[in-house]
Amino acid sequence: MHPRRFSTQTPDKPAYIMAGTGEAVTYAELEARANQVAHWLRDQGVRAGDVVAIMAENHPRLYEFIWGAQRIGVHYLLIATALTAGEVDYILRDADARIAILSARVLERLGKPPLPGRTSCLDDDLGATVRRYPDHPVRDEAPGTDMLYSSGTTGFPKGIKSPLPASFDQPPRAVEIGTRFFGYAQDSIYLCPAPLYHAAPLRWSLAIHRLGGTVILMERFDAAAALSAIARHRVTIAQVVPTHLARMLALPAEERGGHDISSLRSVFHAGAPCPVPLKYRAIEWLGPIVGEFYSGTEGVGLTVATCSDWLAHPGTVGRAVQGEIRICGEDGEPLPRGDEGLVRFANANPFAYHKDPERTAAAYNQHGWPTLGDIGRIDADGFLYLTDRASFMIISGGVNVYPQEVENRLLQHAQVADVAVVGLPDPEMGERVVALVEPRIWPLLDEAALAADLDAFARQGLSPVKVPRRYVFRPTLERTDAGKLVKRRLRDTLLAEDTEMVIQ
């Protein structure tokens, strides 16, 4: 199951269309360009088993390079474009990337190539160079797959390097799940509003290519532009995060009603818990076509909740369709149904964190059941409800934020004695990052000035999504006898106080 078959079956059909510019690339063009990329990569010394890093916004050439790398038995590593130079350097070194392909926008922001001598720019003469290579398959074709970096509890990204597929016809699970639950088919027109460096948009959109559908790729998400793209291209399927739903619902009713979105047959979301009121509003607006799934980049298990499932079990993220849910206590043993505990998956897909056997071992219990670090419960019908995250991971706009990474940055500030970073509910982003700060000098003479100074300091070392949106000052921060911050209590106090110091 591979998109190359559609280069002969439906050669003139668009494999993808850029939502902003309208540029369309047919299946015949995608096949030819992917082959040229494969030849070029081979000429750069890339061999089977290597890692090819790609760091670009939703770029019109991105799918060509992904599918080109997929044909020569390598791992294609998609890197988030907002990461700092230090974060990028860490990931490239940790992954042992052979080559890095970056957009001009990313290169300009980083200021220098992350792999000197092995960095190419998508927007310079690379396109013309690649087009000079043959458009037929390389002689030593082999199937490749993605490598992605996921969030962790320690503040450092974790690489997930899946085994290479046995053959080009081995379908990934996104094909099966998409077909079974979300209406994936050859006639699908799929809206991809999120960056391809996230696991879900990448894997779901490549599944559409494997089935011969068309992807409408948004350069960046905008609520009104998304509705316009759905109407213009007669989109049938859209995969979103709850923040996207919130922003579309926040549009004036007349603006939302001004777009004909009747072509939609399925809308499904993931990436962050969806507030129950928001989900009800989305179903009321879109109809009974709103589903969701719960999984992770690690791919250890997966749950799905159809719209009818959710309406019968409000707040659920569904029942397991891959792996078997086990709710476990601190001792690793399963708890009675209805009790809250760590969500684990039995009979799950095995995985390992790249170069990190300790983290890998920590994800498994004595029964060999891995976890993504979420706390939840299952009801009498086997539906899973997520209630917390063991690591206090913050999910803002569908993006994971490590609290400890933010804390480590703020603790470097000369006026900070202690800090705790937590996530608070946000109607649009799902959660917003909030920093509770114990200043070295108390009381403060000018809280606003220190908040502004901390904000500028944080932005020098953190990606924008990780920068706190609020700074709250306390004379002391409560810690246990073991020296651990009492984050749950701190967060609950903040929720009750409704502090107003917000960095816009």
β 430-439/14-18 pair status: unpaired
CA pair distance 196, 174, nearest whole angstrom: 15
What separation in angstroms does the CA of 52 have from each of 72, 97, 151, 196? 11, 6, 20, 15
Do 367 and 482 fall within a single domain? Answer: no
Q: Where are the alpha helices (DSSP H) in 287-373?
A: 307-312, 357-363
Residue 281 falls inside a structural domain: no
Question: 451 and 398, same structural domain?
Answer: yes
pLDDT given at position 498: 60
In a domain? residue 193: no
- Give the CB-side neighbour count of residue 30, counting CA atoms within 13 A: 35
**What pLDDT was estimated at residue 153?**
37
CA-wise closest residue to 282 among 296, 266, 298: 266
Tell me if 78 is assigned to some domain: yes
8-state DSSP, 502: B
* 359 belongs to a structural domain: yes
The whole-angstrom separation of Cα 295 and Cα 354 is 19
Q: What phi and psi values does residue 84 have, to the nearest 5 degrees? A: -75, 165
**Domain final residue pick, 137, 162, 187:** 162
CATH (domain of 458):
3.30.300.30
Instruction: Enumerate the H helices of 266-323 as residue ranges.
Output: 276-286, 307-312
Give the ranges where 80-122 is alpha helix by DSSP (H).
85-95, 104-110
Residue 163 to residue 299: CA distance in whole angstroms = 12
pLDDT of residue 501: 39
3-class SS letters over 132-175: CCCCCCCCCCECCEEEEEECCCCCCCEEEECCCCCCCCCCCHHH
Determine the pLDDT at residue 484. 62
Q: Taking the model in full, what pTM does it have?
A: 0.85
Region label for 359, one of left (φ > 0), alpha (ψ between -120 and 50) or beta (otherwise): alpha
Geometric angle at alpha carbon 203, from 201 and 205, rounded to 5°:
65
291 DSSP β-pair partners:
268
- Do 354 and 467 reside in the same domain of the chain? no
Residues 6+ apart with CB under 8 A from 361: none
Same domain, 490 and 372: no
Residues 374 and 476 in one domain: no
Residue 337 lies inside a defined structural domain of this protein: yes
Look at residue 34 and tell me if it is in a domain.
Answer: yes
> How many domains would you assign to the chain?
3
Give the pLDDT score at 76. 98
In a domain, 186, yes or no: no
Q: What's the CA gap between 237 and 268, in Å, rounded?
A: 8
Q: Please state, in angstroms and as integers, the Cα–Cα distance from residue 65 to each residue in 55, 79, 108, following that order.
A: 11, 14, 20
How many angstroms separate the Cα of 144 from the Cα of each of 64, 100, 115, 166? 14, 17, 22, 9
CATH assignment at residue 112: 3.40.50.980
**For position 276, what pLDDT does the model report?**
86
Which residue, among 298, 405, 402, has the nearest Cα to 353 in the 3D structure? Answer: 298
Three-state SS for 360-398 is: HHHHECCCCCEEEEEEEEECCCCCEEEEEECCCCEEECC
Last residue of a domain, one of 97, 130, 162: 162
Q: At residue 368, what are phi and psi to the nearest 5 degrees?
A: 80, 25
Can you list the positions of beta strands (E) in 19-74? 24-26, 51-55
CB atoms within 10 A of CB 253: 9
Please name the residues in contact with 492: beta carbons below 8 A apart, sequence gap of 6 or more: none
- DSSP structure class, residue 213: -
**Spatial CA neighbour of 224 closest among 403, 19, 42, 76:** 19
Distance CA 322, CA 301 (A): 5
Helix (H) or strand (E) holding 176: helix 173-181
Q: Which of 358, 374, 389 is the last residue of a domain?
A: 389
Q: How far apart are CA 434 and CA 426, in angstroms?
A: 11
CA distances from 18 to 15, 62, 203, 217, 350 (A): 10, 11, 18, 5, 36
Q: Which domain holds residue 368?
A: 324-389
Mean pLDDT by 10 residues, the chain (504 residues): 95 98 98 98 96 97 97 96 89 96 95 92 89 96 93 65 90 93 97 94 97 97 97 97 89 94 96 83 97 93 96 96 96 95 92 92 96 93 87 82 84 90 89 94 93 96 93 86 69 74 38
The per-residue pLDDT for 421 is 93
Q: What angle do CA 60, 61, 63 make, to 5 degrees?
A: 95
Among residues 398, 406, 454, 383, which one has the least CA distance to residue 431? 398
Say if residue 48 is in the same domain as residue 154: yes
Angle between helices 223-233 and 242-249 (to 10 degrees): 90
Asked if 112 and 130 sit in the same domain, the reply is yes
CATH code: domain of residue 357: 2.30.38.10
Tokens of 122: 């998508």
Question: Is residue 438 a contact partner of residue 419, using CB atoms and an 8 Å limit?
Answer: yes
Residue 290 pairs with which residues in a beta bridge? 267
**Left (φ > 0), alpha (ψ -120 to 50) or beta: where does 333 sit?**
beta
